[in-house]
Amino acid sequence: MKIKIWNVEQPAGSGLKVSNRPGAPPAKPAGKSKAAGEDKNQVTCAREIMQELDALVGLSSVKKLIGEIYAFVEIQKRRQKEKLVTQPLVLHMIFKGNPGTGKTTVARILGKLFKDVGVLAKGHLVEVERADMVGEFIGHTAQKTREQIKKALGGILFIDEAYSLARGGEKDFGKEAIDALVKGMEDHRDNLILILAGYQDEMDWFTEANPGLRSRFPIHISFPDYDHRELLAIADLMMKKREYFLTSGAREELRFLVEKERRRHEHSGNARLVRNLLERAIRRQAVRLLNQQANISRDDLMTITREDIEDNGGKSVNPIT
């Protein structure tokens, strides 16, 4: 099954509106000017979306591949305008990587990008997992899966831990969900993109166990773990967004904890680790300030210190003691 993009023979609803009727009158000059303006605006919006992608920390290989996909779609549009042969592109994807490595964030950006270039009507993201699709009796799973597909029409259906659909064997209802997904991909080929996501090894196993799916998902994107420099950059962005800042001591302590965790666990280089450490620090800062009781300045409210970050062995501190 293939999704044809920017093809003259595409049906209505594919996002392409080109008259190919023999003898059709030439477009009026005013119409051409308007179309040219729309094309210019579309390119500007797409570039802004790509800049949003580029602003993400790390993910250089991911950005490179998405840039290639965007360029391909744009060039196919221009080839069609010159009445050249256009190439079909299957846009269903598999995202491989650990939790907290940016898979969902990138999927949202892709939705906006594909909407802007006319591939998708809405560009929204519907995020689901096994429990949202697999039912408790025969027929229930197909119904639940169709409901999720319906919600995602015009956008992206993002299935996290997709490999769990095949873990129960032939008699498991997960197989019914896979069959319903394949049918949905065929029925809505011009208005739906599926992204299957999960751990690298598990997704490799999943595609090997389901060769029919492998051919439908030719785009595989691996999301590497962040190194400690990238994790600290992510921490700075998180703090800035929440209007906090780290003292030099706090930043040094955060670096120490990140490196300690990475030594303990091979695949702990993700943004979720940093977010959890910072959220804990913000709670500790709140306790510290309440115990201070008076003379809390604006700077105090924004400052995260080494004391707030450091690991105290799991001991908690009660406010206002």
Rg of the chain over all Cα atoms, to the nearest angstrom? 24
Q: What is the rounded CA–CA span in Å between residue 179 and residue 145?
A: 10
By three-state DSSP, how is residue 87 classified?
Answer: coil
Distance CA 5, CA 119 (A): 7
Residues of CATH 3.40.50.300 domain(s) within the chain?
33-223
Which portions of the chain are predicted below pLDDT 70? 1-44, 168-171, 265-269, 312-321
CATH of domain 33-223: 3.40.50.300
Q: What are the residues facing 94 on neighbouring strands?
A: 196, 220
228-309: CATH, from 1.10.10.10, 3.40.605.10, 3.40.50.2020, 1.10.8.60: 1.10.8.60
Pairing type for strands 219-223 and 125-128 reads unpaired
Query: Is-contact 152 126, C-beta < 8 A?
Result: yes
Residue type (1 letter), 110: L
- Cα 167 from Cα 174, distance rounded (Å): 8
Delimiting residues of CATH 1.10.8.60 domain(s) in the chain:
228-309
pLDDT digits (tens, 9 = 90+) for 26-42: 444 444 444 445 555 55
Count of beta carbons in the 10 Å neighbourhood of residue 104: 17
Q: Has this prediction a pTM greater than 0.75?
A: no
User: What are the structure tokens assigned to 244, written together?
Assistant: 């906090």
pLDDT value at position 142?
87
Residue matched to tokens 């229930």: 140
CA 112 to chain centre: 11
